[in-house]
Structure 1
Amino acid sequence: MKTKILFTLLLAGLGAYAQHPSEPYFNLTRSGFKEKNAFQTTAFVEQYFRVPGNTGFNASIHFVENILKKAGFVEQKENESASALTYRIEKRPMKNNTWEPVQANIDIIGESTPLITFNTNRNMIPINCVSTPASGVTAEVVYIEKIVPAELEKMDLKGKILFSENNPARLLAIAVKSGAVGILGYSMPKYTQPEKHQTSIQFGSMKANSEVWTLLLSYAAKEKLKAKCLKGATKLKVNIETKIYPSEELTIVANVRGNLKPDERFVFSAHVQEPGANDNASGVGTLAEMARLTAELYKSKKIVPQRTLTFLWGDEIVSTRRYITEDTLRAKGILWGMSLDMVGEDTQKTGGSFLIEKMPDPSAIWTRGTDKHTEWGAGDVTEKDLFPHYFNDVIFDICKAQGQFANWAVNYNPFEGGSDHTPFLQNKIPGLLMWHFTDVFYHTDNDRLDKVSPTEMKNVGISGLTAAYTLISANENTALATVSQVKNDALVRLKKEFDLSKKAIAAGKPATEEQHILEVWTKWYVDALATIATMPVKKETSKVSSAIKLASAEIEKQKMSYLSDLK
C-alpha cells in the first residue's frame, strides 16, 4: 500500500507533464535488456574463486571484454575521446602475490567418507592458505574448547592440528609458537542460520606467508568432528593444494561518450573479486548486459547521451577509489556513482530483499518506524556526515516505478557502507548501492548459480539504466519533474516523522529533541532540492530556480506547522 500511495503522489506532483521524463527510457530498457545474457555471464564468472590477479579474476575481466567488443566498443589507444564507444583494460603490478585454491580434503582416519571436501565447500580454504605436502598431513587433532593462551602454552601441541569453534586467526600465533601443523576453525554469523544450512562456510582469509595452514569448517563438519574428539583421540589426514604466484591486477573501464558534456559522467561499478554467484558474479553479469544494451541503443540512435556513461569492473572499493582519485580533473566531472553488488538474488531462496542503500540522510542517525538497518550493521553517521541530494529519491522512485510495472519488491535501507558506493561518498560525489540483504547464503559457498534470478537482474538493470539515461541527458523538464517528485517525497517523510515524534513525546521523549529531528529532515530535503539546479545539461533556467524556491517554501511551511503541533 505504501508504494502505491507514494507512486500516486509522484504522478500527482508531475501535474502538467504528459509523461515522466524517464518513461521513454523505460520503454527502451524494458524491451532491450536480455536477462539471458546477464545470467550467462554470471554463470561464467561464478565458476571461479576470484581474487585480484588470479586465473578466475582475469578470465572474468576478459569475458567482459569480449562482450564489449562484440557490442561495438573499441579498445582505447590514447584517450576516451578517440571514439564514442571505448574500453580499456588497466594493468598494474601487484605488490603481493595472488592466490587461488585448487583442492582440499579432510579425512578422519578410519572412516571412508571425507569429513569435508573442496568439491562441495570451496570456501573451506581461506585466502592466502598454503599447500600441504603433496602426500598430505596426518596428525592428531586437539579440540580447544576455550582459547586461554596461558593454558595452551603449557600443552604439547607440536605436530598437531588445533580445532576450535572460533575463527582460525585467533589460534594462529599460538599454533606457530607451539609448532602445530595446522588449524581448523568455525565462524558463522547467526543470520546465515548455520543450524539449518549446515553445509555453508563463509569465505575468509589468513595472513600471507604463514608457516601454518588453516581451514574452515561448516556447521555439520564442525559438529561431527567435535563429537569424535570428545569420544577420544582422533587423527585426521589433510590435503591442501593452492597456488601462490606473482601477477598483475586488472580493471576494465568502458565509456559511452556524451555529446555535449563528455567530461561529466555517471559511473557504474561492479566488483569482480569474491567467490559467490550473487556476490558478485551477478553484478558483473548485470553490468555487462547494461553496457551491451547501451551500445546497441547508441548505435541505433535511440539514445543520444549528453554526458558520458562509464562502466567499471575491478577490485571492490580499490578500483573505484582509484578511478575517482588518480585523476583529479576526471573526478570533478563524476556527478553520480552507483554500485551493483549482489543484485541477482532469488529472494525466495536467499531471504534477501532488493535494497537501495541510501546516501546518508537523517534515517541513518534516527532509524525508526519502518526504517531499519540490515544485519550487515549500521554505520557511524552524525549530522555532519549527512549528504543531501536528489539522487536518493530519483533512484528510489524509478525503482518503485519498475516495481509496480514488474511486480518487483523494492525496499531501501539507511546508509551502512562497505561497497563500491563508499569511495564516491568519501569524495563528495553522490553514490548509491543496489544490493540484496539479509541473505542466509551471504559470503558462503552455498551462494551458487541456483540462487540467482535472471528476472531480478533484469529489474535492476532496467532501473539502473533508466535512471542513468534520464540523468545524463537531463533537461529543464527533467529538473522540474524532479523538483515536484522530491517535494512530494519530502512531505511524505515529514508526515511520517511528525507522527513518530508525536508518539515519542507521548511516551515521554523531550519535545525539543523531536522537533530537532523534523528540522534536520527539513534542512536535508531543502538542501537536496537545491542540488537539482545543476541537473540539466544546459545552464539552469529561471523556471527550475523558481520551482526549487516554491517547493522549499512549501516544505518549510509544513515543517513550521508540525513544530507548532509538537510544542
Structure 2
Amino acid sequence: MKKIFLMLLTALPATLFAQSQVDNYFKLTREGFNEKNAFQTTAFVEKYFRVPGNTGFNASIHYVEDILKKAGFVEEKSNEFEAPLTYRIEKRPMKRSTWEPVDASVTIVGENAPLIAFKTNRNMIPINCPSTPEGGVTAEVVFVGKGTPDDLKDKDLKGKIVFGDVSASRLANMAAKAGAIGVMGYSMPAYTQPEKHQTSIQFGSIAPNSPIWALLLSYGVKEKLKAACLKGAVSLKVNIQTKIYQADELTIVANAKGSVLPQERFVFSAHVQEPGANDNASGVGTLAEMARLTANLIKQGKFKPQRTLTFLWGDEIVSTRRYIVEDSLRAKGIKWGMSLDMVGEDTQKTGGSFLIEKMPDPSAIWTRGNDKHSEWGAGDVKEKDLFPHYYNDFIFDICKAQGKHANWVVNFNPFEGGSDHTPFLQNKIPGLLMWHFTDVFYHTDNDRIDKVSPTTLKNVGISALTAAYTLVTANENTALTTVSQVKNDALARLKTEFDLSKKAIADGKAIADEKHIIEVWSKWYTDALTTINTMAVKPQTTRIGSAIKVAVLEIEKQKETYLKNLN
C-alpha cells in the first residue's frame, strides 16, 4: 500500500507541490503579520524629520532594534551567523555635519497670526538651513518673480529678504552675492496638485554652510505673500531654529540564518531618512514587522529558511550600496534584493496604486500598450541595460495572488530607478521596488500618518514575505512551476507585442523596427528562463534544465510565427 501511495505521489505534477508551498507561506504570513505593529512603528518614525545622524533618524534605528531584540534577534559579537537570529548596528563617522529642524515662523509685520509656521509645515525649512540670529530677524521682502537676471536687475537686495516664484536653492546663490540675508522660494510639481492642496510643501535642501538662510513656501502662502508684495512694501519677521552638529551615521542589519546555504541570501532594504509617513516610515514599519514575524515563525519551527534572510534599515541607496560593495564575498551570495519604499498608502487619499517597479525589461525602452511610466519619469535604458530574470514575473504573480485574496489593486511600472533597488541592479543582482505612485502628497508635509493604511502595510508585508520565504526554500518543484509561469507570461507578452506591432505597421511604422521589438522581448524571456537553473536550493535531477529547454523552444517557435505574420 505504501509503495502504491509513493508511486501516485511521484506522479502528481510539480505545480501542486510548489503551489502548496506558496499556499502554506501565504497562510503563515496572513495569520501572523500584525498590521497594528507595522502601523505603530510607522507612527513612531513619522514623528521625526529624519536625516542621517540626527535625533529622529537614530531614534528610528533604535526603535527597530528594540523590536528585533524582543523578537529574539541577538546582537552579533563576532559574525552574523553565530546564532540563528542576529542583528548589528553599524556606526560610521559622517564626513559632513548632520542637521535637524527645531522651529520656524514667518509673520507679516503688522499682522498677529503667522503667515507660515513649522508646527503646520515642517518642510518649510530646507535641509542644511542655518538658524537666524537669536530672536529672529525683521526685514523688507523683495519679490523677484521667477528669479531671472532681468527680474533681479536694478533691485537693491542688500539686507533684505528675496522672495521668488522659483526654488529657494536656485535663489540662494544669487541673493547671497547681492547681500540679501535670506530667501523664500516656491517650487511644486504639477502632480502634487498644489492649487488644490494649497498647504503642501515638498521638502528640499540648500548647500551645506550656506551664508544665508532659506525657506520653502506652499502655494497658498506664496500667493498670499505675492499679492501683498504687489500692493506695496512688506516687511517680515522671520525666526528659524535648526541644529547642525557632528554625528555618526547608523545602519541596522538583521539576519535569519539559512540552514543549508547561509551565504546565499534574500536582502530586504527600507530607508529611514526623509520626513514622510508613507515615504518612508511605512517601509521601516512594514519591514520591522516582517522581521518580527520571521523570527517568531522560526522559533516555533513553522518556517526553516535554507538560505539567509537579511533585513536592512539605513540611508537610502547609500546603506544598500555599501552593504553590497563593502564585502565582495557577501555580495556574491546575494541572489535577490527588494526595496520597500512608500508601501503603506491609503490610495483613496493619496491617489495612484501599489506598484512593482520591474527590473529593466524591454518595456523600459518601448513603453506602449498598458505599460506606462509614473510621473517619476523614465530612465535612459538601452538594450545593453536589459536584465532578463524570472524575478519580475515571480514577484508580480505572488502580489497578484494576494491582490485577488484581499481585493487589493496591484500594478507594475517599467524600470525608472531612484530607490534602494538600484544598487542591486548596478551590481548585477536581481532587485525590485515595491512602492506607490502617483501620490499627490509625495515628499510633502501632508504625507502624514493619516495617509497610511494598515491594510496596505499588511498586503505588502504578506506579499514580500511569501515571495522571500518561497525563494529561500525553493526546491526543484518550485523551479519547475516557475518555468511554466514565466513561459506563459512570455507567450502572453509576445501576443500583446505582436498585436501592438501589427497596429503600428498599419499606422506606418517600419516593419523591421517592429520585428526587432518582438525579437528583443523573445530573447529577454528566453534568457530569463535560463536563470531559473539556480533557483532551487538542492536541484536533484536534470528536470529543470529539460523544462527550460522545452519552454525556450516553445517561445522561439511562437516568435517565428509572429515575425512571419508581421510581413
Q: Name the TM-score class by shorter chain.
A: over 0.9
Partner residue of 1:441? 441
- For residues 148 and 498 of structure 2, what CA distance do their matches in structure 1 show? 52
Alignment correspondent of 1:201: 201
C-alpha displacement of 1:141? 0.4
1:125-169 Cα distance to aligned partner (Å, 9 max, x none):
000000001211100000001423366253211110000010012
Deviations 1:314-337 (A, max 9, x none): 000000000000000000000000
Aligned to 1:159: 159
Mapped partners of 2:289, 2:158: distance in 1 = 54
Is 1:481 aligned to residue 481 of structure 2? yes
Counterpart of 2:543, as a letter, is: K
Name the aligned partner's letter for residue 484 of structure 2.
Answer: S
Aligned-pair CA distance for 1:553: 0.6
Q: Tell me whether 18-27 or 103-112 shows the greater mean CA deviation.
A: 18-27
Cross-structure match for 2:183: 183
Larger deviation, residues 285-294 vs 145-154: 145-154
Distance 1:324 1:540 in 2: 30
Q: Secondary structure of the equivalent of 2:58?
A: helix
Q: Structure 1: which amino acid aligns with 2:293?
A: L
Q: Is the 8 A contact 2:75 2:87 kept in 1?
A: yes
Contact 2:265–2:309 at 8 Å: present in 1 too?
A: yes
Map residues 81-230 of structure 1 onto 2, 5 A cutoff: 81-149=81-149, 152=152, 154-230=154-230
**Partner residue of 1:248?**
248
The match for 2:6 is none
Aligned 8 A contact 2:18 2:478 in 1: no
> How far apart, CA to CA, are the structure 2 residues paired with 1:363 and 1:16?
32
Are positions 1:365 and 2:384 aligned together? no
Query: What does residue range 529-544 of structure 1 map to in structure 2 within 5 Å?
Result: 529-539=529-539, 541-544=541-544
Q: What does residue 9 of structure 2 align with?
A: none
Matches within 5 A, 1:504-515: 504-515=504-515
CA distance in 1, matches of 2:239, 2:15: 69
Structure 1 segments (4+ residues) deviating >6 Å? none
Report deviation, 1:177: 1.2
Match for 1:249: what amino acid?
E
1:289 match: 289
Give the AA of the match of 1:348: Q
Number of aligned residue pairs: 555
**Residue equivalent to 2:390:** 390
Tell me the residue number matched to 1:557.
557
Contact 1:515 1:566 in 2 (8 A): yes
Contact 1:107 1:238 in 2 (8 A): yes
- Find the counterpart in structure 2 of residue 313 from structure 1: 313
Query: How many Å apart are 1:29 and its aligned residue?
Result: 0.3
Q: Which AA in structure 2 matches 1:532?
A: I
8 Å CA contact retained: 1:138, 1:237 = yes
Please say if residues 202 and 442 of structure 1, whose CA atoms lie closer than 8 Å, have aligned partners that are also in contact.
yes
Contact 1:153 1:174 in 2 (8 A): no
What is the CA–CA distance in structure 1 between the aligned matches of 2:151 and 2:261, rounded to whole Å? Answer: 67
Residues 1:457 and 2:457 aligned together = yes
- For residue 211 of structure 1, report the CA deviation from its aligned partner: 1.1
Structure 1: gaps (5+ residues): 1-12
- One-letter amino acid of the structure 2 residue matched with residue 282 of structure 1: S
What is residue 338 of structure 2 aligned with on the other side?
338
Conserved 8 A contact 1:142-1:229: yes
Q: Which amino acid aligns with 1:235?
A: S
Q: Is the 8 A contact 1:353 1:410 kept in 2?
A: yes
Contact 2:144 2:162 in 1 (8 A): yes
Instruction: Supply the RMSD in Å over aligned alpha carbons.
Output: 1.1
Map of 1:491 onto structure 2: 491
Give the distance between the partners of 1:365 and 1:141, measured in 2 at CA.
48
SS of the equivalent of 2:563 reads helix
Tell me the distance in 1 between the aligned counterparts of 2:419 and 2:540: 33
Q: Deviations over 1:418-454 (max 9, x none)?
A: 0000000000000000000000000000000000000
Letter of the structure 1 residue corresponding to residue 329 of structure 2: L
Deviation digits for residues 360-389 of structure 1 (CA, Å, limit 9, x no counterpart): 000000000000000000000000000000
Please report how far the alpha carbon of residue 14 of structure 1 lies from its aligned counterpart in structure 2 after TM superposition: 7.2
2:532 matched to 1:528? no
How far did residue 539 of structure 1 move?
Answer: 3.7
What is the CA distance between 1:352 and its match in structure 2?
Answer: 2.2
Measured after TM superposition, the shift of residue 18 of structure 1 is 7.7
For the residue of structure 2 that corresponds to 1:195, the secondary structure is coil
Measured against aligned partners, the alpha-carbon deviations of 1:58-78 in whole angstroms (never above 9, x if no partner) come to: 000000000000000000011
The residue matched to 1:373 in structure 2 has which SS?
coil
Match of 1:100, SS state, is strand
SS at match of 1:80: coil
Q: SS of the counterpart of 1:81?
A: coil
Offset at residue 19 of structure 1 (A): 3.1
Checking the alignment, whether the CA contact within 8 Å between 1:361 and 1:414 is kept in structure 2 is yes
Q: Distance in 1 between matches of 2:422 and 2:412?
A: 16
Aligned position for 2:65: 65
Say which SS state the counterpart of residue 239 (structure 2) adopts: strand
Give distance in 2, aligned partners of 1:451 and 1:375.
20
Q: Secondary structure at the match of 1:82?
A: coil
Which deviations, in whole Å up to 9, do the C-alpha atoms of 1:541-567 show, x marking residues without a partner? 310011000011111111111111101
CA contact (8 A) 1:393 1:489 kept: yes
Aligned partner letter, 2:102: V
Change in Cα spacing, 1:218 to 1:18, as seen in structure 2 (3 Å) is closer
CA contact (8 A) 1:192 1:440 kept: yes
> TM-score scaled to structure 1, two decimals?
0.97
Aligned to 1:5: none
Q: Distance in 2 between matches of 1:189 and 1:67?
A: 37
Tell me if the contact between 1:160 and 1:182 (Cα under 8 Å) persists in the aligned partners: yes
Query: Match for 1:259: what amino acid?
Result: S
For the residues of structure 2 that align with 1:170 and 1:63, how far apart are their CA atoms?
37
Other-structure match for 2:7: none
Task: Deviation per CA, 1:376-406: give whole Å up to 9, x if none.
Answer: 0000000000000000000000000000000
Q: SS at 2:101's partner residue?
A: strand
Whichever residue aligns with residue 387 of structure 1, its letter is F
1:324 aligns with 2:324: yes
Change (3 A) 1:540 1:171: farther
Partner AA of 1:167 in structure 2: S
In the TM superposition, 1:252-271 aligns within 5 A as 252-271=252-271
CA contact (8 A) 1:337 1:430 kept: yes
**Equivalent position of 1:412 in the other structure:** 412
Partners of 2:18 and 2:386 lie apart in 1 by 34
Query: Secondary structure of the residue that 1:501 maps to in structure 2?
Result: helix
The separation in 2 between residues aligned to 1:409 and 1:501, in whole angstroms, is 28
Amino acid at match of 2:257: R
Letter in 1 for 2:119: N
SS at match of 2:278: coil
Tell whether the 8 Å contact from 2:15 to 2:480 is kept in structure 1 after alignment. Answer: no
Correspondence for 1:51? 51
Alpha-carbon separation, structure 2, partners of 1:344 and 1:480: 33
Kept in 2, the 8 Å contact 1:269–1:311? The answer is: yes
Are the counterparts in 1 of residues 15 and 477 from structure 2 also a CA contact under 8 Å? no
Is there any run of 5+ residues in structure 2 with no aligned partner, and where? 1-12
Q: What percentage of residue pairs aligned between the two structures are identical?
A: 75
Q: Which amino acid aligns with 2:522?
A: T
String of CA shifts for 1:469-503, please: whole Å, max 9, x gaps: 00001000000000000001111111111110110
Alpha-carbon spacing, 1:426–1:305, altered in 2? closer, same or farther (3 Å): same
How far has the Cα of 1:538 moved from its partner? 1.2
What one-letter code is carried by the residue in structure 2 that aligns with 1:390?
Answer: Y
Match of 2:431 in 1: 431
Report SS of the residue matched to 2:19: coil
Write the distance in 2 (CA, Å) between the matches of 1:251 and 1:431: 20
Distance apart, 1:81 and its partner CA: 1.6
Decide which moves more: 55-64 or 164-173: 164-173
Larger mean Cα displacement after TM superposition, 531-540 or 105-114: 531-540
